[in-house]
Amino acid sequence: MPADSVVLRHDDQRYPSLIEEGWTVIARSWAARVEVTSQQLARWTEILASLPPQTTCRELEAADVPAALSLDADTVSDYPGGVATAHSPMTVASAAPSASRRGFGVFDSDANLVAMTFVDVDGNRAEVDFTVVAQHRRCSGLATAVKAASLLALSCDGVTVVRTGGSDENRGILAANAALGFEVDEHWLTLSAPQA
């Protein structure tokens, strides 16, 4: 993180004094969580069932790494917010699914990957790394559906709590997370140092 910026929880005791010193809020972000319950499972199943019939949603495999890298490259500059929500371009290693890093994707009728989410798993807890949708397929529920697929699969493997986060500017993912039952439980501020 640049020395001229700092990320704080909204209730951090340093916040008022930094504002008095001339620091300014340049970005806002959040974190949220959802617990696996029978009601949530029913909700996620219903969301996944609403995918257009010409699309396929499934867990990503090693053979999907090139497609994941391509979609990531096409969308890497689309993430709003500041340093707290910056997305680092994927590498072959980070695009390779594993037991501790699972990927899920939506494919169109031509077998093109048009949405994906990657989740880091640690025992019965998981954290969404990122979710992204191809520009020409946004606002069609694909982000919500691919996250629903990931939540269903993770719950089958014993995950009971999933966390996610993002920028306040990303209204789409906030709406998707609300539809999935995530509840925002943390608010973060990115502050920029006063200009000399």
Q: Residue 81: what pLDDT?
A: 67
Whether the model pTM is above 0.85: yes
Tokens 């996944």: give the residue. Answer: 48
Residue 139 tokens, joined: 């606002």
- Rounded alpha-carbon distances, angstroms, from residue 30 to 89, 161, 168, 174: 21, 17, 7, 9
Average of per-residue pLDDT across 91-116: 97
CA-CA-CA-CA torsion sign (176, 182, 187, 188): negative
Handedness of CA 94, 105, 153, 160 (dihedral sign): positive
Token pair 């719950």 is at which residue? 155
**pLDDT at position 174:** 92
The per-residue pLDDT for 1 is 43
Kindly list the structural domains of the chain, giving each domain's residue range(s) and its CATH number in brackets, ordered by start: 5-192 (3.40.630.30)
- Residue-wise pLDDT for 137-162, tens only, equals 988 899 999 999 999 999 999 999 99
Helix (H) or strand (E) holding 66, with range, is: helix 65-75
How high is the pLDDT of residue 2?
47
Read off the pLDDT of residues 36-82 as tens digits, 9 standing for 90 and up. 999 999 999 999 999 988 999 999 999 999 999 999 999 988 877 67
**Residue showing tokens 């501790």:** 100
